[in-house]
Amino acid sequence: MTITLKNVSFSYTESLDDAVIKNLNFEIKSGECVVLVGESGCGKTTISKLINGLIPLYQSGTMAGDVLLGDKNTADMTLAEISRHVDSVFQNPRSQFFNIDTDSEIAFGCENLGMDPEEIRERMNRVVKDFHIEHLAGRNIFHLSGGEKQKIACASVSAIDPEIFVLDEPSANLDLKTVADLAEIIKFWKSRGKTVIIVEHRIHYLRDIADRICYVKDGQIQDEWTPAELEAKGPEYAASLGLRCMNLEQLKNKAPELAEGPKRSKEPAKQSLKESLLFNNLHFAYNRKFLVLDIPELSLPRNQITAIIGHNGAGKSTLAQVLCGLRGTWRQKRKARKYGAYLIMQDVNHQLFTESVLDEILLGMNSQDENAALEILERLNLKDYASCHPMALSGGQKQRVAIGSGVSSGREIVVFDEPTSGLDYKQMLAVSATLQKLAASGKTLLVITHDPEFILNCCQSVIRMEHGKIAEQYLLQGNQEKLIDAMLNA
């Protein structure tokens, strides 16, 4: 089934003057794997919505032109009809599932379409076998990790067996190993002759899968390449388009940006307390038997950015929460309140409370010093937004507001939980710059991340966790290959 966009314009408002897509003509043939790339706001997600029918049937706005699936106009169909032919997987694993258990979720789409129960069972079994997710069957979705949830989402749409799959930044919140599994799933679909459209920033896992990569800018498809052509143009060119690194192997040879670190502390000293921060007895268990966190001693180099890596369930988030006093024994919590860390959460919306950015910074302060608050905003490039509502800002700006409130809390250690998930190259660099500034101003930073490019860009040392213990801790300089291998094979 060919997808055709004929002279399509779309705007999210009531007039086409601020159209996101202008007079777009685009065609995707049956069985193709097309990747839509571009900087944030360029319109690639809008194009994906045009393909899966959300525009014009669900999303409010103004549209001109037609979208054809085969020879039928989507405007004449219902979303239920379209879902027989086009199905989508979105970027946020936690908000896609309708059911509480995995089996029902996989069957969800088929049940919606009224298929025969016997057939649904057959399809479910087939999908579980094809995706190798037997270990996920019959489980409570709330207990799954992000990557596992995303696999269930893929299984759910795969059971419907449409001709076209639309994926909107599916790898955004996943670690490298799960991304590899996702690549396998897409390869599988391709081998069945399905059309797959993927909107992405991270395209390293699609090198062998994509047929063409389309660069979207200002609502137009400006350029088109095969993966080989794009890679041949060199990493700087890809970076200028906002794309993340195409080839992870190349990263192994890349020298980390911050080899030296600020002049004061050159290496993570183990002895002197001035050079590094020591934590003792970081043990935590949900129940008596099973220790989730088992770290007798942790030493963090001061005024540096340390990355924490490890597969899902290794205990990284628990460590962050214990350090910040959000979890742990009563004694641990009390200590953390005095000497502990400030956490910048993955979902920044959970930590924005007030009606203006300035108030947000003031909220964390003990002494309501407006001048000091404005200074913090200045350093974070937020001075112009001082009176804006925090929740109305963009994702990157919200993150900086949260960082600002962390700074104003006066705590020396700041922990970041996945600060770069879903960001394009330029946004990642901006976050990296902010973190470096923060470290230079005297803070010690700890970053939980799955993003190897980001680590190479701003971190000085790496801690790898496994089963609640610290498996290794090393300086990044000279150990890039070790890092990349560890992340790929977690």
**Interface with other proteins in residues 323-352 (CB under 8 A):** 324-326, 342-343, 345, 347, 349-352
- Part in contact with other proteins (CB under 8 A); list of ranges 94-102, 128-136, 254-262, 417-425: 94-102
Least distance to other proteins, CB of residue 110, Å: 8
Residue of the chain from 113, 232, 255, 278 that contacts other proteins (CB under 8 A): 113
**87 or 453, CB closer to other proteins?**
87
Buried b (16+ CB within 10 A) or exposed e, 150-187: bbbbbbbbbbbbbbbbbbbbbbbbbbbbbbebbbebbe
Query: Rounded to the nearest 5 degrees, what angle is found at the Cα of 57, between the Cα atoms of 105 and 107?
Result: 15
Residues 15-34 that bind other proteins (CB under 8 A): 16
- The first and second tokens of residue 30, run together, are 């049956």
Taking the C-alpha atoms of residue 271 and residue 276, their distance in angstroms, rounded to an integer, is 8
Give least dist CB 321 to other proteins, A: 8
Place of tokens 């200002």: 218
Q: From the centroid of its chain, how far is CA 429?
A: 15
Asked if 285 touches other proteins (CB under 8 A), the answer is: no
Residue 96 sits in the site that holds other proteins (CB under 8 A):
yes
Spell 464-475 as b/e; 16+ CB within 10 A means b: bbbebebeebeb
Looking at 153-161, 182-190, 249-257, 294-302, which segment touches other proteins (CB under 8 A)? 153-161
Nearer CB in complex with other proteins: 46/436: 46
Give 206's Cβ-side CA count (13 Å radius). Answer: 31
Write out the binding residues for other proteins, residues 348-377 only, by CB under 8 A. 349-353, 355, 363-364, 366
Q: Between residues 145 and 473, which has the closer beta carbon with respect to other proteins?
A: 145
Options 17, 76, 114, 271; binder of other proteins; rule CB under 8 A: 114
Q: How far is the CB of 412 from other proteins (least distance, A)?
A: 14
List 27's β-bridge partners, or say none: 4
Answer for the pair 189, 196: CB distance below 8 angstroms, yes or no: yes
CA distances from 325 to 312, 341, 467 (A): 21, 8, 21
| Stretch 385-444 residues interacting with other proteins (CB under 8 A) | 388-389, 391-392, 405, 409
- Cβ proximity to other proteins: between 324 and 438 the closer is 324
Q: Exactly one of 321, 399, 444, 457 binds other proteins (CB under 8 A); which one?
A: 321
| Residue that has been written with the tokens 């470290």 in this structure | 439
Q: Please report whether residue 317 would count as binding other proteins according to CB under 8 A.
A: no
Q: Which conformational region is residue 114 in: left (phi greater than 0), alpha (psi within -120 to 50 degrees), or beta?
A: left
Residue 88 is inside which H or E element, if any?
Answer: strand 86-89
Instruction: Give min distance, CB of 485 to other proteins, in A.
Output: 33
Torsion of CA 201, 245, 459, 297, to 10 degrees: 80
Stretch that binds other proteins, among 109-117, 169-177, 280-288, 439-447 (CB under 8 A): 109-117
Which residue in 30, 112, 226, 280 binds other proteins (CB under 8 A)?
Answer: 112
Hey, what are 316's tokens? 């990284």
Q: Would you count residue 278 as binding other proteins (CB under 8 A)?
A: no
Q: Which stretch binds other proteins (CB under 8 A): 105-113, 127-135, 226-234, 287-295?
A: 105-113
Output the six-digit token pair for 53. Answer: 């029918």
Q: Which stretch binds other proteins (CB under 8 A): 200-208, 229-237, 371-379, 384-392?
A: 384-392
Smallest separation, CB 370 to other proteins (Å): 16
Exposed/middle/buried for residue 410 (C-beta within 10 Å: 0-12, 13-18, 19+): exposed
Residue (180 or 388) nearer to other proteins, CB: 388
What is the nearest approach in angstroms of other proteins to the Cβ of residue 338? 12
Going residue by residue from 157 to 196, which x/- string records binding to other proteins, judged by CB under 8 A?
A: x--x------------------------------------
* 3-class DSSP state of 150: helix
